[in-house]
Structure 1
Amino acid sequence: MIQIVQLKLPIKHTNEDMHSAIVKALKLAKSRTFEYTIIKKSIDARKEEIKYIYTVEVRVDLSKQETEKDIVNKCRNSNVSITERTSYRFEPKGTKPLKHRPVIVGTGPAGLFSAWILAKHGYQPLVVERGYEVNKRVTVVEHFWEQNDLNPNCNVQFGEGGAGTFSDGKLNTMVKDAFHRYPLVMETFVEHGAPSDILYLNKPHIGTDKLRGVVENMRNDIIRMGGEVRFATTLTDILIENDQLAGIELNHNERISCEVLITAIGHSARDTFAMLLKRGIHLSPKAFAIGLRIEHKQSMISMAQYGKSYIDLPAADYKLTHQTKSGRGVYSFCMCPGGYVVNASSEPGHLVVNGMSNYARNGDNANSAIVVTVQPEDFPNTDPLSGVAFQRNWEKAAYAAGKGVVPVQLFGDLFHYRKSVTIGSVIPNIKGEYRLSNLTECLPDNIIEALKEGIMAFDKKIKGFADEEAILSGVESRTSSPVRIHRNEFYESNITGIYPCGEGAGYAGGITSAAIDGIKVFEAVADCYKPCYE
């Protein structure tokens, strides 16, 4: 294939414009026929005239004795080269027969991908999920947002698809991928109903509305390939004999024998963390971040990023970082263009917020978490679950500040340490009831000071970011797992047969990296064991 990079086209371009640009780049006669595939599409807003930048792969109908190399050599263009597309390849090498089918706990991206690829290779896994299937889950969550009636086992954190089901569905990742697991993840999403543009957009996302159908289709595929998926089913204990997994307990009343357990439990399964610790699994506290959500008008963010051209472009996003005078990192996290802030609580008497966007990202407001890094030394003790206790303390404070609903405050009021009494020009776009409050009661003083400094610094990058009428809500405490479940180079914990996996185990930070970790754990299992049904 011939690859062309840095192919620049105007915002309002046509397919004919793309065709002409390829002809020009390859110095082809206008009569030559070819096909092309978009590999990457991004926006270049660095100059006054904003353009789209493409990477494309082109297959030219070659004449006799002509090669693609001949065309590339003729171009004398450093942006044109020969490329070979590579794909994910893995062949299970396990020889140890399983006596029982492997069990996966959790249907977030880590659990879903490990289960799907195990099923594809004939392992017929059992998948258990404490929450409900996605359509029933949506009903339960919307009921919570309308009536403030929390279901502790099925909410924004728990249920089919994991916490990512109620998110922006971002699919970008910083994971280095020499084995082409990332393309496998993206192609699998598309095969199961995701928009095909995620294969080439520079910052791909699915959106919560489309992600729901994708996870349902993947679940049905797992079942079609011989797996089983059980909802409203919680892992309540593990059975260990001679430092090896012997089985599991579900819902306190059912025991199942198994030699392989993949714990893709997510970052909010606090009762499961406690159970694993009690059973001798090695855990340790890890760094994470805590802060607030901020809302601005999406038009302001897009205008600041793109100028007047923003009308013809997708809703703009941003990624901001700042190092405070005290040395703490402040950064934007899970930015949701045209999205919603959602009440993402999972425990009674505690309150958590998160961000969510539909695929169209056509809501009035942009929102993002603005968070501050915290280290284990910030926690009150060195217990492995001290980070969980730290989160709970401030989530309880947020619940109290909002009197049971999402506490919100204008940035100007937070800056001056006063309770908000009225909404300004930015109307909160929040799923769930909210109440004007004083968010300085919801976080430690040093975190509040870091947030204030960070937001003022971000105003120098995006004019208007520190608008006194920007809306803050809290608390954002589930940025990542506060716990790491230790595993060795074979992806096993200190108990043979238990494979910690994904974001909850401390090895991922988002939908894509969690899915990739699920694939890695599958490979570790398949390198050791062969299916019990062969």
Structure 2
Amino acid sequence: MYVTKRYDVVVIGAGPAGIFTGLELARVGLSTLILEKGRDITSRRCPINHHGSKCLRCKPCDILCGWGGAGAFSDGKLTLTTEFGGVLDEYMDKNRVAELIEYIDQIYLDFGATTTVYGDDKKEEIRRIQRIAASADLNLIPARIRHLGTEKCTEILTRMREYLDDKCEIRTNTAVEAIIVENGEYAGLELAGGERIESKYLVAAPGREGAEWFSGQAAKLGLSMMTNPVDIGVRVELPAVVMEHITEIIYESKLVYYTKSFDDRVRTFCMNPYGEVVNENNAGLITVNGHSYAEKKTKNTNFALLVSKSFTEPFKEPITYGKSIAKLANLLGGGVIVQRLGDLLDGRRSTPERISRGMVEPTLKDATPGDLSLVLPYRHLVAIIEMLEALDKVAPGVNSRHTLLYGVEVKFYSSRPRLSPVLESEITNFFAAGDGAGVTRGLAQASAAGVVVAREIIAREGKSS
């Protein structure tokens, strides 16, 4: 192993947490290296989007990896609330988290984000929807949402990349093999080919796709780990008009339900009005997600229904559990499976003919018609069916037999190390941030986490921003 260079700070991952760490550090002149295993943002190309082909299982996946992280081609929603989108409020006061979200929101505006924010007005309409939801045992958590849109999000992240180009060193297509700790202290990183990079500070912000790698590194280093609930479910697609009375007011409605059968928590996640369903390649596993654009619109709305399940002793591998379910879906369907709700309830698989006769035209064209009851555990299926019945009372038509269910959707952020209020691990000068570290679950709090870490490093160096 040979040492090539030493920096003040090395950041693993160029998603929102890593980028905002870099933006904040750029103000004070510390020598900073950002490492990203995926490609640069101008080189990221998904074959499905550009050639109309099926998922080619690229490694790494251009949708999830590269400059901007999974957020680069997401629908680009900034959830301007402390109520969801991460657990930063477990490390610091909620007022502090709110201040950080306001701060990063202004930076997104400076780089070209839209000034439109959903949920700023129409308070009475929101309360009316909350009352209807409550009568169906649903808790509607309102939030201010700044919707960037998939194409605009990419533009903003490109501008951030250009801004940082001469302020720090950025290396894409560079995977980190191992985090090196010597005599109980952080010492550096090993890259492919035996190259060693050294720095005083390390910020690990690997993103969701790197969650398993990060948890593996943490285990090797002997870090104490906390287990988050594992989120597994389906993506629902239906005519946009069904949800229009909600999405036009709130844009993304966060609805939480506790099942009558098992008291499991189910929630809506990542709602995409007039959007499209997409594949994600998680290290060879094909899962499902959704996007929505600022200008291009479809006739459908899609959102995830995620069932949260916490595990107790002796099981400590929630990511492995989620991946095993995704593997089963891939085994049976060759990728993502799609099923009409009516077929699921009737105990039969969907076929291409049954899908074509339905009222909802799938936006994910290469999903395989099949039977999700062969994939999802019974407990999860019951939770999803109960949730759809409850949602139908708020938005009649959700529980239609024509509604499409795509599976599976899994969120790989189920393990996180024990961290201090400034997100420092048990190893001095080794910080962790973002979705892959299990701290955040979206653009806003991931960006805020990067600011928290950078400001602490700046303070320790006696610098002034």
Pairwise same-fold verdict (TM > 0.5) = yes
Letter in structure 2 aligned against 1:320 = L
Match of 2:440 in 1: 508
Q: Pick 1 or 2: higher relative contact order, CA cutoff 8 A, min separation 6.
A: 2
Match of 2:389 in 1: 456
Match of 2:100 in 1: 181
Distance, in Å, in 2 between the alignment partners of 1:492 and 1:375 is 25
Distance, in Å, in 2 between the alignment partners of 1:391 and 1:342 is 19
1:254 is displaced (CA, Å) by 1.2
The answer to whether 1:150 aligns with 2:31 is no
Letter in structure 1 aligned against 2:39 = Y
Letter in structure 2 aligned against 1:164 = G
Shift of the 434–200 alpha-carbon distance from structure 1 to 2, 3 Å rule, reads closer
The answer to whether 1:528 aligns with 2:460 is yes
Unaligned runs of 5+ in 1: 1-98, 307-312
Letter in structure 2 aligned against 1:318 = S
1:115 is displaced (CA, Å) by 1.0
In the alignment of these two chains, the number of paired residues is 418
Superposition map of 1:287-298 within 5 A: 287-298=229-240
Superposition map of 1:94-113 within 5 A: 100-113=7-20
Residue 157 of structure 2: which of 187, 209, 215 is its match? 215
**Contact 2:236 2:303 (8 Å CA) reproduced:** yes
**Contact 1:102 1:125 (8 Å CA) reproduced:** yes
Match of 1:19 in 2: none
Deviations 1:57-80 (A, max 9, x none): xxxxxxxxxxxxxxxxxxxxxxxx
1:319 is displaced (CA, Å) by 3.1
Letter in structure 1 aligned against 2:16 = P
**Contact 2:359 2:402 (8 Å CA) reproduced:** yes
Match of 1:245 in 2: 186
Residue 397 of structure 1: which of 319, 323, 328 is its match? 328
Letter in structure 2 aligned against 1:391 = G
Match of 2:360 in 1: 426
**Contact 2:204 2:432 (8 Å CA) reproduced:** yes
**Contact 1:301 1:317 (8 Å CA) reproduced:** no
1:195 is displaced (CA, Å) by 2.0
1:332 is displaced (CA, Å) by 0.7
1:428 is displaced (CA, Å) by 0.7
Match of 2:268 in 1: 332
Letter in structure 2 aligned against 1:131 = G
1:197 is displaced (CA, Å) by 2.8
Distance, in Å, in 1 between the alignment partners of 2:236 and 2:296 is 17
1:489 is displaced (CA, Å) by 3.4
Superposition map of 1:382-393 within 5 A: 382-383=315-316, 386-393=317-324
1:401 is displaced (CA, Å) by 2.3
Distance, in Å, in 1 between the alignment partners of 2:52 and 2:266 is 29
The answer to whether 1:233 aligns with 2:166 is no
Overall identity of the aligned pairs, in %: 29
**Contact 2:118 2:251 (8 Å CA) reproduced:** no
Superposition map of 1:262-277 within 5 A: 262-269=203-210, 270-277=212-219
Letter in structure 2 aligned against 1:331 = R
Shift of the 494–319 alpha-carbon distance from structure 1 to 2, 3 Å rule, reads closer
The answer to whether 1:443 aligns with 2:350 is no
1:481 is displaced (CA, Å) by 0.6
**Contact 1:156 1:344 (8 Å CA) reproduced:** yes
Deviations 1:290-315 (A, max 9, x none): 1000001112321x548xxxxxx689
Distance, in Å, in 2 between the alignment partners of 1:230 and 1:122 is 18
1:199 is displaced (CA, Å) by 10
Match of 1:417 in 2: 347
Deviations 1:267-288 (A, max 9, x none): 2212332133223233232213
**Contact 1:267 1:482 (8 Å CA) reproduced:** no
1:462 is displaced (CA, Å) by 0.8
Letter in structure 2 aligned against 1:497 = N
1:227 is displaced (CA, Å) by 0.3
Distance, in Å, in 1 between the alignment partners of 2:30 and 2:304 is 40
**Contact 1:401 1:439 (8 Å CA) reproduced:** no
**Contact 1:151 1:346 (8 Å CA) reproduced:** no
Match of 2:336 in 1: 406
1:410 is displaced (CA, Å) by 0.3
Deviations 1:71-126 (A, max 9, x none): xxxxxxxxxxxxxxxxxxxxxxxxxxxx7320111111111101111112211310
Unaligned runs of 5+ in 2: 1-5, 83-93, 121-143
Letter in structure 1 aligned against 2:324 = N
Residue 430 of structure 2: which of 488, 494, 498 is its match? 498
Letter in structure 2 aligned against 1:323 = Y
**Contact 1:236 1:272 (8 Å CA) reproduced:** no
**Contact 2:311 2:318 (8 Å CA) reproduced:** yes
Distance, in Å, in 1 between the alignment partners of 2:150 and 2:157 is 11
Distance, in Å, in 2 between the alignment partners of 1:143 and 1:483 is 34
Distance, in Å, in 1 between the alignment partners of 2:201 and 2:47 is 32
1:441 is displaced (CA, Å) by 1.7
The normalised TM-score by structure 2 is 0.84
Secondary structure of 1:132's partner?
coil
Match of 1:359 in 2: 294
Match of 1:192 in 2: 111
**Contact 1:413 1:419 (8 Å CA) reproduced:** yes
Distance, in Å, in 2 between the alignment partners of 1:339 and 1:434 is 16
Shift of the 275–252 alpha-carbon distance from structure 1 to 2, 3 Å rule, reads farther
Distance, in Å, in 1 between the alignment partners of 2:349 and 2:48 is 29
Distance, in Å, in 1 between the alignment partners of 2:13 and 2:455 is 18
The answer to whether 1:170 aligns with 2:77 is yes
Superposition map of 1:299-314 within 5 A: 299-302=241-244, 304-305=245-246
The normalised TM-score by structure 1 is 0.74
Secondary structure of 1:257's partner?
strand
**Contact 1:107 1:128 (8 Å CA) reproduced:** yes
Secondary structure of 2:226's partner?
strand
**Contact 1:236 1:252 (8 Å CA) reproduced:** no
Deviations 1:184-227 (A, max 9, x none): 21221122222233599642110110111111111121123x20
Distance, in Å, in 1 between the alignment partners of 2:100 and 2:252 is 26
Shift of the 128–144 alpha-carbon distance from structure 1 to 2, 3 Å rule, reads farther
Secondary structure of 2:274's partner?
coil
Shift of the 127–144 alpha-carbon distance from structure 1 to 2, 3 Å rule, reads farther
Match of 2:256 in 1: 321
1:234 is displaced (CA, Å) by 1.0
Letter in structure 1 aligned against 2:330 = Y
Distance, in Å, in 1 between the alignment partners of 2:23 and 2:55 is 34
Distance, in Å, in 2 between the alignment partners of 1:314 and 1:488 is 38
1:316 is displaced (CA, Å) by 5.3
Distance, in Å, in 2 between the alignment partners of 1:466 and 1:429 is 19
**Contact 2:423 2:453 (8 Å CA) reproduced:** yes
Secondary structure of 1:102's partner?
strand
